């Protein structure tokens, strides 16, 4: 991080030498003051995008509408944005237009919270017109300016207040809190993509207390879900980490046995929140395994799990069992066994050790064999293979070609009687 800060300092000096004002702003200054590791570094300057391109010809225009350029130095990327204040808002969504401003104070005034409205120059001097440094010391999230006005301008700030509260373990200042509850429906008007990004971060950081403190109305406006907030039952969220695993838990809790189609309902949930296909597939795999485990912990690797295992790996299997166990604890209201993690890992290791097959491909016969020598067709082949998979896994049959073929021949009439 030191090297990155040196690199950004050099950049600020370069801009200063060229006659421009330039400052670090936003999350980087906040995190520096909190002694937290810094995420992305944003710079604000009175240089216009074309000035910037003149100074840094390799810079990439990354946010044309906002006049944002990405400058890369020694492999570190910095977002440089020209001072701006935002034009009038339509329907609490995006600003209608952006006007370039030559005033740092105006740039800071459009920022969401006092702790995010601090600028720092290359000498390490802070510009803190909203007393953000005191709020950092108080561990308080406070809106810049009139809270209701700010939340009506952009409803996403409501989600961001809760997200920062979870991330930094800060409380929300009373007037700010009152205003965001008042304006909750503004959050629902924000695009799902923006709401989702904040939800992902909130889910990543939320503790049991954060779950308990999220008002039902904000939860519904944020996620677009009409289900009770109890799907965020406190104690079991603290057992599971990572937003994908927590999304899996949410999906399980929402359905809570109400559906025998865990995959479909998970895909529906995640697509309603605009998560990507990749995220959807991973979460669905976790949910399918977890709900099958909840129905009955298997004694060998179920055929249904094998393709999922190929997708998410052994570590994914352990994650799914963790999720299932967390759900079990939540339902039973029992105090959790402190060794539950180690036990789940051992269970998965044992399960794999007791499973002679990891997929249909491990069988000593193939669908081709069944087609040629047993004269089975389409669906019958699938049924025969899964029957073989079960029997070999249970130790009823040995995984030898001759034995498997004999077995299928003896059942041929039954298999063909199906249709």
Work out whether 262 is an interface residue with ligand ATP (CB under 6 A): no
Residue pair 152/145 in contact (Cβ under 8 Å)? The answer is no
Element housing 278 (H / E): helix 277-295
Q: Of 152-160, 288-296, 341-349, 397-405, which part binds ligand ATP (CB under 6 A)?
A: 152-160
Residue pair 67/82 in contact (Cβ under 8 Å)? The answer is yes
Instruction: Give, as ranges, the residues between 155 and 214 that touch ligand ATP (CB under 6 A).
Output: 156-157
Q: Per-residue x/- marks for Mg ion, 219-258, CB under 5 A?
A: ----------------------------------------
What's the min distance (Å) between Cβ of 194 and ligand ATP? 8
Number of other residues whose CB lies within 10 A of the CB of residue 300: 19
Which residue minimizes CB distance to ligand ATP? Answer: 27
Work out whether 380 is an interface residue with ligand ATP (CB under 6 A): no
Half-sphere exposure of 274 (CA within 13 A, CB side): 14
Contacts of 60 (CB under 8 A, 6+ apart): 69, 70, 72
Give the 3-state secondary structure of residue 376: coil
Work out whether 27 is an interface residue with Mg ion (CB under 5 A): yes
Work out whether 111 is an interface residue with ligand ATP (CB under 6 A): yes
Of 339, 292, 348, nearest to 318 by C-alpha is: 348
Distance CA 389, CA 114 (A): 62
Contacts of 325 (CB under 8 A, 6+ apart): 239, 340, 344
Whether the CA torsion 81, 86, 90, 96 is positive or negative: it is negative
Q: Per-residue x/- marks for Mg ion, 192-211, CB under 5 A?
A: --------------------
Q: Per-residue x/- marks for ligand ATP, 35-74, CB under 6 A?
A: ----xx-x--------------------------------
Number of other residues whose CB lies within 10 A of the CB of residue 64: 9
Q: Which is nearer to ligand ATP, 142 or 157 (CB)?
A: 157
Q: Which is nearer to ligand ATP, 38 or 364 (CB)?
A: 38
The tokens for 238 are 């603290």
Element housing 72 (H / E): strand 68-73
Q: Which is nearer to Mg ion, 40 or 175 (CB)?
A: 40
What's the min distance (Å) between Cβ of 158 and ligand ATP? 10
Q: Of 10-18, 150-158, 253-261, 310-318, which part binds ligand ATP (CB under 6 A)?
A: 150-158
Work out whether 107 is an interface residue with ligand ATP (CB under 6 A): no
Instruction: Give, as ranges, the residues between 33 and 72 that touch Mg ion (CB under 5 A).
Output: 39-40
Residue from 26, 49, 132, 316 touching ligand ATP (CB under 6 A): that is 26
Q: Which is nearer to Mg ion, 1 or 40 (CB)?
A: 40
Binding site partner of 116, from Mg ion, ligand ATP, none, Cβ cut-off 5-8 A by kind: ligand ATP
Which residue minimizes CB distance to Mg ion? Answer: 27
Distance CA 182, CA 173 (A): 14
| R_g over Cα of the chain | 28
Distance CA 206, CA 240 (A): 11
Q: Of 26-34, 48-56, 196-204, 306-314, which part binds Mg ion (CB under 5 A)?
A: 26-34
Q: Which is nearer to ligand ATP, 111 or 325 (CB)?
A: 111
DSSP string, 215-256: -HHHHHHHH---S-GGGG-HHHHTT--SHHHHHHHHHHHHHT
Binding site partner of 239, from Mg ion, ligand ATP, none, Cβ cut-off 5-8 A by kind: none
Helix axes 174-182, 156-168, angle to 10 degrees: 140
Q: How many of the chain's residues bind Mg ion (CB under 5 A)?
A: 3
Provide the binding-site residues for ligand ATP, judged by CB under 6 A: 26-27, 39-40, 42, 111-112, 116-117, 154, 156-157
Provide the binding-site residues for Mg ion, judged by CB under 5 A: 27, 39-40
């Amino acid at each position: 991080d030191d090297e990155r800060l040196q690199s950004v300092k050099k950049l600020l000096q370069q801009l200063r030498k060229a006659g421009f004002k330039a400052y670090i702003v936003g999350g980087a200054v906040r995190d520096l003051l909190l002694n937290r590791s810094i995420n992305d570094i944003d710079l604000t300057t009175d240089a216009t995008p074309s000035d910037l391109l003149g100074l840094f010809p390799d810079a990439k225009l990354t946010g044309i509408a906002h006049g944002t350029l990405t400058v890369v130095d020694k492999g570190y990327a910095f977002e440089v944005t020209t001072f701006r204040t935002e034009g009038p808002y339509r329907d609490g969504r995006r600003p209608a237009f952006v006007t370039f401003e030559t005033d740092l104070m105006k740039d800071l005034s459009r920022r969401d919270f006092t702790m995010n409205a601090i600028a720092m120059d290359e000498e390490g001097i802070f510009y803190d017109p909203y007393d953000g440094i005191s709020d950092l010391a108080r561990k308080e999230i406070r809106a810049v300016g009139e809270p209701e006005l700010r939340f009506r301008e952009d409803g996403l700030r409501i989600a961001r207040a809760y997200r920062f509260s979870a991330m930094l373990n800060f409380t929300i200042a009373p007037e700010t809190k009152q205003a965001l509850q008042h304006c909750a429906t503004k959050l629902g008007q924000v695009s799902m993509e923006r709401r989702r990004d904040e939800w992902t971060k909130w889910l990543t950081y939320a503790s049991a207390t954060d779950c308990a403190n999220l008002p039902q109305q904000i939860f519904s406006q944020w996620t677009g879900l009409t289900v009770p907030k109890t799907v965020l039952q406190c104690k079991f969220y603290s057992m599971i980490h990572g937003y994908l695993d927590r999304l899996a838990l949410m999906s399980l809790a929402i359905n809570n046995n109400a559906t025998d189609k865990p995959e479909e309902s998970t895909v529906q949930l995640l697509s309603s929140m605009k998560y990507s296909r990749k995220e959807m597939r991973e979460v669905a795999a976790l949910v399918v395994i977890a709900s099958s485990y909840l129905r009955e912990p298997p004694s060998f690797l179920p055929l249904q799990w094998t393709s999922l295992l190929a997708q998410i790996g052994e570590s994914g299997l352990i994650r799914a069992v963790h999720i299932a166990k967390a759900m079990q604890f939540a339902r039973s209201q029992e105090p959790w066994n402190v060794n539950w993690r180690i036990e789940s890992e051992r269970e998965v290791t044992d399960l794999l050790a007791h499973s002679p097959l990891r997929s249909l491909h491990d069988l000593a016969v193939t669908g081709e064999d069944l087609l040629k020598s047993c004269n089975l067709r389409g669906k019958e082949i699938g049924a025969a293979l899964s029957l073989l998979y079960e029997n070999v896994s249970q130790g009823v049959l040995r995984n030898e070609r001759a034995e498997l073929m004999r077995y299928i021949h003896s059942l041929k009439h039954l298999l063909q009687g199906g249709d």
